[in-house]
Amino acid sequence: MKKIVIAIVVILVVIVGLVVALPFIVPTDRIKQELILATNDATGRDLAINGDFNLSVFPTLGVTAESVTFSNAPGAQNADMATIDSLTVKLSLMPLITGNVQVDEFILTKPVINLAVDKSGKANWEFDTAKKEEEPKATESASSEGGAADLGISDLNLGDVRIVDGVVNYIDQSGGTDINLSDINIELVLLGLEQPFEAKGSAVWNSEKVELDVNVGALRSILENIETTAAVDVKSKNINLNFDGQVKSIQPLNLGGTTTLDLPSVRDLAAWAGAPLEGVSETGFGPFKISGKLGANDTKYSFSEANISFDEIVGAGDFSIDLGGKVPDIVGKLALETLDLNPYLPADEGGEGSAEAPTAPAQKASGEKWDTTPIDLSALKTVNAKFDLSVQQILFKKIEIGASALATTLKNGILDLALNEMNLYEGTGRATIRLDAQNPTLKITNAVTVENIQLNPLLTDAADFEKLEGKGMFQTDLSTSGKSQADMVNALNGNGQILFEDGSISGVNLAAMARNITTAFTDSGEEQKTDFAEISGTYQITNGILTNDDLKMLNPFIRLTGSGTVELPQQTVNYRIEPKLVATTEGQGGGEATGVAVPILVTGSWDNLNYAPDLAGVLKNATNPEGVKKLLEGAKGSGDGVKDTLKGVKEKDPAAVKNLLDAAGGLLGGKKN
């Protein structure tokens, strides 16, 4: 045993002696050149040390070099991938012999690192060398089992480890990314693998300083996949991020803890990031804060018990994502109190601030009714998702919507939206929409039902239209398919109905107008308002052509019916409205509507509609004195003017017919031909 100990001591003495003598045996320049050649062989790039180069061996194994450059990839924008004003590396020699790496100094002064990705997607840190093909296998083998044993050391101690006034430039020509970090100062503190590890530093990005502080309970625990404490703090003028929890491993990432993201102003953050919010209201986009429990386990990430605030919007939710499948799988749930959208509307759509005129929409090609550009919804196949949103109140311009719930499911290119609850203006609404993008031809189906809506407050808030009162119902069930907007308009099929009940139209008194036609416009002094029991109609859509045959409005003195078509592909209308003046107060829905019909034709393109009396229909009614007689006999106080009108109609006097026609035209208004 004694001989073995003596032998070991002798060997150590010899090794130490050789190490001490090495700088005197091998010239420093020779070591410098060997280092340069080794770097070239390993990377295929040129390493140059243009300043002083010094090597020390005992008591510390150290290298100092000045004006160091490392060449870039061929064709790169910058000649050098890295330049360093000075580099100092010093390791304690004796601890190194026992497997304990003690770094006395590691200082990079004014390093400039240029990272780049070319248009083909190749990074400049990818080296074209033969060794590159062989090294990954060894690396994977060494790292597959994990743990500090892979490092080949028993302990690690860091002394003065710093980066001083560094710069990192990153350019991605394939993605258009350009990032510059300057004034990088980083300091690492580690007294041993069993001791706490701290990295703290700062950098300047877009003229703003960002500070970073990372603390880990024990670095060895992470290396050996043992859970340990961890804390991360990022602070700046525009963003503050905090994490406090447990970390088990970095690759794959395994951690859990509480986290908080605090943005003093989303508007300022966007401007700092180089994407200022233009054309939006000057209100809104203020403070944003989200906090909750962050978890990561290999390919699964979660953010639970989240509390969110954005300006005046407050909510809570849970979110998760699994990256282990063919596509990411996202699940989320968000509940909001009041969702006020007004502060986020474009300035020309009701937001405050900008007075600039809205940008004119893009014009279609001459003669083109609908856009024929193929619709690309391939993105729907890149992710699966399930998201539930509930809101107690939604404010959009002047519109107020009550409690609502939306369920969203996206799977294998099929998006399902289900509005299971919507309360608005004393009524309710439901809707389902499906977008099927599994095949190149997009398929869409939707069904919408709105019931018991109070029309006056809805139309007042939505369109500043105060003339219609009553209770409304709307229902539609549609389907279509196609590769473009034009295709889908041509393939649109479905049906629907509308129903307005127990309401009135302000600003016009159809009953008075009915009497005016029969009594030569005697002044009734009545309020300008028309009550109705019902306005209703159903429609069918076949290959883009909407047909309605049963439009009707019921009023004591007028019965209005309508029928016709709207050709969506050609954007034209061919519709006939027939208001029939009657003289009965039997009830808005009762009795046979006997009287004079004054049909109106609505025809033409959507942007140039024509409103004209149906002359053939008018003459047919006018030459039927019996109908006119019943109408006039039912009117009170008709007088001689009524008799003269009746006489003229009976005798087919063109002037009398014209007077009747003009009166009807005044009733319906619009453009007359």
In a domain, 478, yes or no: no
In a domain, 238, yes or no: no
Please state the three-class secondary structure of 302-314 as a single string.
EEEEEEEEECCEE
Nearest residue to 109 via CA among 182, 185, 46, 208: 185
pLDDT tens digits, 241-295 = 999 999 999 889 999 999 999 999 999 999 999 889 888 888 889 999 999 999 9
- 28 and 54 in contact (C-beta within 8 Å)? yes
Residues of the chain falling short of pLDDT 50 = 1-5, 7-16, 18, 130-132, 135, 137-149, 352-363, 366, 517-524, 587, 590-591, 631-632, 634-643, 645-650, 652, 657, 661, 663-672
In a domain, 293, yes or no: no
Nearest residue to 511 via CA among 465, 464, 478, 559: 559
Please state the three-class secondary structure of 135-180 as a single string.
HHHHHHHHHCCCCHHHHCCCEEEEEEEEEEEEEEEEEECCCCEEEE
In a domain, 61, yes or no: yes
**CA 123 to chain CA centroid, nearest Å:** 30
**How are beta strands 529-542 and 208-216 bridged, if at all?**
unpaired
Return the pLDDT at 493. Answer: 98
In a domain, 557, yes or no: no
The structural domain count of the chain equals: 1
Give the CA radius of gyration of the chain: 41
Return the pLDDT at 141. Answer: 44
In a domain, 347, yes or no: no
Query: Tokens 């859990």, residue?
Result: 256
**CA 221 to chain CA centroid, nearest Å:** 40
User: What is the DSSP code (8-state) at residue 489?
Assistant: H
Return the pLDDT at 430. Answer: 95
Torsion of CA 19, 21, 25, 31, to 10 degrees: 40
The CA distances from residue 509 to 13, 512, 519, 641, in Å, are 117, 5, 15, 21
Residues present in the chain in total: 673
The boundaries of the domain holding residue 195 are 30-129+143-226
pLDDT tens digits, 375-403 = 988 899 999 999 999 999 999 999 999 99
| Pairwise CA distance, residues 213 & 216, whole Å | 10
| Pairwise CA distance, residues 331 & 319, whole Å | 6
Residue 473: strand, helix, or coil:
strand
Return the pLDDT at 517. Answer: 47
| Pairwise CA distance, residues 604 & 162, whole Å | 78
In a domain, 120, yes or no: yes
Return the pLDDT at 465. Answer: 87
Q: pTM of whole model > 0.85?
A: no
Query: Tokens 């083109």, residue?
Result: 368
| Pairwise CA distance, residues 95 & 60, whole Å | 10
> Structure tokens of 24?
């005197």
Residue 407: strand, helix, or coil:
strand
| Pairwise CA distance, residues 333 & 469, whole Å | 38
